[in-house]
Amino acid sequence: MNIKTGDTVVIIAGGDQFTTDKKGIKTRKTGRVLKINHAKNTAIVEGVNIVKKHQRPTSANDKGGIVEVPAPIHLSNLAIQDPKTGEPTRIGHRVENGVKVRYAKKSGQTLDKVQKPAKVKSTKEESEVKVAKTEKPAKVTKQAKETKQVKAVKSTKVEKNTTVQKKGASGK
């Protein structure tokens, strides 16, 4: 999967593809990916594909009414926005510092932050501290003292539903 949560994407197809600014110039809509559904290959993008949902009042939402909610978009209608140019771009994978990262094909700029692998250095002092921590007995609270272990009992009693409805002459 090339698109991940948090990526800035451009809408490249569909009815919600373009927006017009104050000067009347058409530009592609962009947004940040909020959620991805891998099973359906869809994504919810912030501020794109907004639908109106009629919602009744519930305990969580005291007021009902018409609520605007972002609807999912198929991943084939999205492309990653190039960090340098702002245009839609395809994605490639390469290894940098021993970590596999994604990069924009148009500009060659990496999309993922490259994290250096953590170097493990253990000294005598750290190992002594670890040993000292493990030697301490666990704290016993009042609740733990008061509670007793309960044995699991297997029940052999099984109830069967023995009621049978008889049909009348009419078959009802």
Residue ranges in the chain modelled with pLDDT below 50:
none
Q: How many domains does the chain have?
A: 1
> Phi/psi zone of residue 38: left (φ > 0), alpha (ψ -120 to 50 degrees), beta?
alpha
Please check whether residue 30 lies inside any domain of the structure.
yes
> How far is Cα 97 from Cα 119, in angstroms, rounded to an integer?
13
Q: Is residue 28 part of a domain?
A: yes
In a domain? residue 169: no
Q: Looking at residue 60, what is its pLDDT? A: 77
Residue 112 lies in a domain: no
Does residue 49 fall inside a structural domain?
yes
Q: Is residue 105 a part of any domain in this protein? A: no
* Assigned domain for 1 exists: no
| pLDDT tens by residue, 126-171 | 555 555 555 555 566 656 555 555 555 555 665 566 566 666 666 5
- Dihedral-angle region of residue 85 (phi above 0 means left; psi in -120 to 50 means alpha; beta otherwise): alpha
Radius of gyration of the chain (CA): 30
Tokens for 122, please give them: 């253990």
Domain that includes residue 56, residue range: 8-81
Q: What is the pTM of this model?
A: 0.60
- Whole-number pLDDT of residue 145: 56
